[in-house]
Structure 1
Amino acid sequence: MTDKKKSMKLGFKQISKWLHLWLGLTSGIVVVIVSLTGAMYVFHQEIEDALHPWRFVEAQNRAFVPPSQLIDTAKTYVAGEKPTGLTYGNREGAAAVGFMSAMNGKTSFSVVFMNPYTGAFIKKEEPLGKGKFDFFHFVMNGHRALWLPYKIGRPIVGLATLLFLVLLITGMVMWWPKKWNKKSLKRALLIKRNANSKRLTFDLHNVLGFYSLIFACVFAVTGLIWSFEWFGDSVYFLTSGGESRVEHVHPHSDASKAHLQKNDSMPAIDRAWYQMLATEANPQWVYMTPVLHKEDDSFEITVGQIDGKFYKQNEYFYDRYSLEPLRVKGDRYAEAGFADRLSMMNYDIHTGAVLGLPGKILAFLLSLIIASSPISGFLLWKNKRGKR
């Protein structure tokens, strides 16, 4: 290697080292908070289900009751509010109608659980509202916005995540062994258990950082897709082979057909429900908008194909008057291209749910490792300063 190449290589490593230090000190506390809250949230569904047995019913060999029956029952338990969401679970899951409202900047949320086979009331929950505290909602607020107002905290989290992505790259540059021999590889890949505290801190930062690198990149990229529109557009552009991401739009109903439903005894939402069931043989979960506010709003029904996962889903839209099916780009998983499928999988990849329970366990452990990296990095920096 020539002296010029050696000098360039040394300069690149020095720049990487400087960036790694100062970007780490700048974003470290945010990375710790986001990682720890992410770890706490991974199993929120399993914990919630264990603590709330009323979310389950005994499976029966019969059809679910239609949406209108569930909505009418739920309204009797939440006076004066309009339902904002209706969910059917799998054959052993309770149906739920949610009511969300905002007043003076405060959000309240109530949900009524019912037996989907009979429509019978099971339980009413009020996780959000005056005097209410929901632990996992609190955790998610920290994960998304550091418990700050959303408009302030969200950009801070996004920027810190972007810096974290740069840290991963500079960290890889610093980890790279000068010589690829047995001794250097052992130092780079193994933690020396009988070492002193300073060496152990270095190994925890260096070795665990290497093993978690790819997964940390995945967490960062999937998080940044939500944080910055330009980042999501860029990922879509790269994964689609140069196509632009199309904004998700809801098709509109034709208000000129309003007369078509006036004398129909079956509620339009039930007709939309049965039309969807004629297409979907075995939905694992269903979410729908129960109340339409504008004349040209359409019924939207999202159908999940896999229990406990969000990515493999189909969306159905129906004209509120004629019940004619309405189509939009990317509304069927089977017809979606690679980039659209990847976009649908973003949440499940971010949480590890895409790989089921093993993926969630992996995401939990990796989140703890990532949370420890800024701490071990800070200790290394502090130890070096103490020597001076």
Structure 2
Amino acid sequence: MGLISGIVVFIVSITGCFYAFQQEIKDYLEPWRFVEVQDEEFVPPSQLLDTAKVYMPNQKPTGLTYSDKEGAAAVGFSSFENGKRSFTAVFMNPYTGEFLRKQQMLGNGEFDFFRFIIDGHRALWLPYDIGRPIVGVCTLIFVLLLISGLVMWWPKNFKKANFNKSFKIKWKAKFKRVNYDLHNVLGFYSLILAFVLAITGLVWSFHWFEDGLYYITSGGESKPEHHHPHSDISQKDLVENDTISPLDRAWYKTLAQEPEVQGMYMTPILEDEDDAIEIVAYQDHGSFYNKNEYYFDRYTLEELRMKGDRYAEADFADQLSSLNYDIHIGAVFGFPGKLLAFFISLICASLPVTGFLVWWNKGRKLKP
């Protein structure tokens, strides 16, 4: 089983190492993501959209993001034509609406290193409908290997000699002995966190796994389908002559409830007449799980509530679902958590290599 899954586990783990710090690396290499803090309020979404459209004429904006007080705002333009995806972001100063940078991240031959990394991590650079199941199956095998590895690691008794073999690497021994210890000892120390990384990854590989995990953590409830509240179409005439856009009004109402918000995301264009305005307010900079979701009737601006739309008020299963991404990359514990996720991923990448060498040398007596 290790031989079958080893190459995939190695690729997924190595790419996971790179991706753990993708935000920090981007922040360092892309200074236009930051602005000087001003003693002013942010400009409303409509002003950012007007600026962005100048640089992306005849394109529909698909997302608008505010960061914290030091971060640039951005309007994203995503499209899918002729079987190819493209994505461009227009960065602006949130205090003035001034244009900062136009960055095409995907499409027209543009190479984005972290898009390359995530495509390898999630689908081995294959089409997603082919690569994701392969990654999922190999991750399942990896989980089984972690369990069987613990059984093989478990010492028959805890005498000092066995204790040293199970908990320490004998660096002065011959290569085969050191390799065996690297596999055995590092595998044990990383076991729990490697298991967590694998489980959180499986949530994206298989719907049945995601639904099953929700069922277990909720005490037997089925995972609800993703849905939004709807606007009252009968009130459509209320905003036809309004000089302030509904999105701006909804944004102001959200700010009144979120004075210390650390980031916002919203969809500028509503496709259907009964779509509600949705604004996601992030409570912590650098993580995504602790968020409050606000919905407003696009015609009356009445606030609409949904079960679990506030992280602090959500059930445990819904909170765990929100935490999944941040747990997977270690962001739930800030920079130290990402550093830990990096090293655990690195150990996971080494296990197929050291395991293969153990298999290759099987039957040969390990000399002390």
Q: Distance in 2 between matches of 1:199 and 1:57?
A: 54
- Tell me the equivalent position of 2:165: 187
Q: Distance in 2 between matches of 1:139 and 1:155?
A: 18
Residue 185 of structure 1 and its aligned partner are, at CA, apart by 1.2
- Tell me the equivalent position of 2:241: 263
Which of 250, 254, 260 pairs up with 1:276?
A: 254
Q: Distance in 2 between matches of 1:237 and 1:164?
A: 23
Asked if the contact 1:249–1:328 (Cα under 8 Å) also holds between the matched residues in 2, the reply is no
Secondary structure of the corresponding residue to residue 361 of structure 2: helix
Q: Distance in 1 between matches of 2:202 and 2:355?
A: 23
Secondary structure of the corresponding residue to residue 61 of structure 1: coil
- Tell me the equivalent position of 2:148: 170
Which of 87, 96, 99 pairs up with 1:118?
A: 96
Out of 253-262 and 200-209, give the one that drifted further.
253-262
Q: Does 1:206 align with 2:184?
A: yes
- Tell me the equivalent position of 1:72: 50
Residue 294 of structure 1 and its aligned partner are, at CA, apart by 1.1
Residue 139 of structure 1 and its aligned partner are, at CA, apart by 0.3
Q: Does 1:56 align with 2:56?
A: no
- Tell me the equivalent position of 2:71: 93
Which of 208, 215, 240 pairs up with 1:230?
A: 208
Report % sequence identity.
62
Secondary structure of the corresponding residue to residue 293 of structure 1: coil
- Tell me the equivalent position of 2:199: 221
Which of 286, 290, 306 pairs up with 2:284?
A: 306
**Which runs of at least 4 in structure 1 moved beyond 4 Å after TM superposition?**
none
Q: Does 1:108 align with 2:92?
A: no
Secondary structure of the corresponding residue to residue 210 of structure 1: helix
Task: Report how many aligned residue pairs link the two structures.
Answer: 365
- Tell me the equivalent position of 2:127: 149
Residue 242 of structure 1 and its aligned partner are, at CA, apart by 2.1
Out of 176-185 and 144-153, give the one that drifted further.
176-185
Asked if the contact 1:255–1:295 (Cα under 8 Å) also holds between the matched residues in 2, the reply is yes
Q: Deviation digits for residues 38-57 of structure 1, max 9, x if unmatched?
A: 00100000000101101100
- Tell me the equivalent position of 1:372: 350
Q: Does 1:335 align with 2:313?
A: yes
Measured at CA, do residues 220 and 71 of structure 1 come closer, stay the same or move farther in structure 2, by a change above 3 Å?
same
Q: Distance in 1 between matches of 2:348 and 2:319?
A: 27
- Tell me the equivalent position of 2:174: 196
Secondary structure of the corresponding residue to residue 101 of structure 2: strand
Measured at CA, do residues 385 and 255 of structure 1 come closer, stay the same or move farther in structure 2, by a change above 3 Å?
farther
Q: Distance in 2 between matches of 1:227 and 1:108?
A: 24
Which of 221, 232, 240 pairs up with 1:243?
A: 221
- Tell me the equivalent position of 1:158: 136
Q: Distance in 2 between matches of 1:333 and 1:383?
A: 51
Q: Deviation digits for residues 1-28 of structure 1, max 9, x if unmatched?
A: xxxxxxxxxxxxxxxxxxxxxx111111
Q: Distance in 1 between matches of 2:138 and 2:106?
A: 29
Q: Distance in 2 between matches of 1:61 and 1:331?
A: 31
TM-score, normalised with respect to structure 2: 0.97
Residue type matched to 1:152 in 2? I
Out of 29-38 and 233-242, give the one that drifted further.
233-242
- Tell me the equivalent position of 2:22: 44
Measured at CA, do residues 107 and 385 of structure 1 come closer, stay the same or move farther in structure 2, by a change above 3 Å?
farther
- Tell me the equivalent position of 1:317: 295
Structure 1 unaligned runs (5+)? 1-22
The CA RMSD over aligned residues, in Å, is 1.1
TM-score, normalised with respect to structure 1: 0.92
Q: Deviation digits for residues 242-265 of structure 1, max 9, x if unmatched?
A: 222222211111211111111211
Asked if the contact 1:284–1:304 (Cα under 8 Å) also holds between the matched residues in 2, the reply is yes
Q: Distance in 2 between matches of 1:59 and 1:242?
A: 48
Q: Deviation digits for residues 320-359 of structure 1, max 9, x if unmatched?
A: 1111111111100121121211111111100001111111
Residue 386 of structure 1 and its aligned partner are, at CA, apart by 7.5
Asked if the contact 1:310–1:348 (Cα under 8 Å) also holds between the matched residues in 2, the reply is yes
Secondary structure of the corresponding residue to residue 286 of structure 1: strand
Out of 234-243 and 378-387, give the one that drifted further.
378-387
Q: Distance in 2 between matches of 1:130 and 1:212?
A: 41
Q: Does 1:357 align with 2:335?
A: yes
Secondary structure of the corresponding residue to residue 350 of structure 1: helix
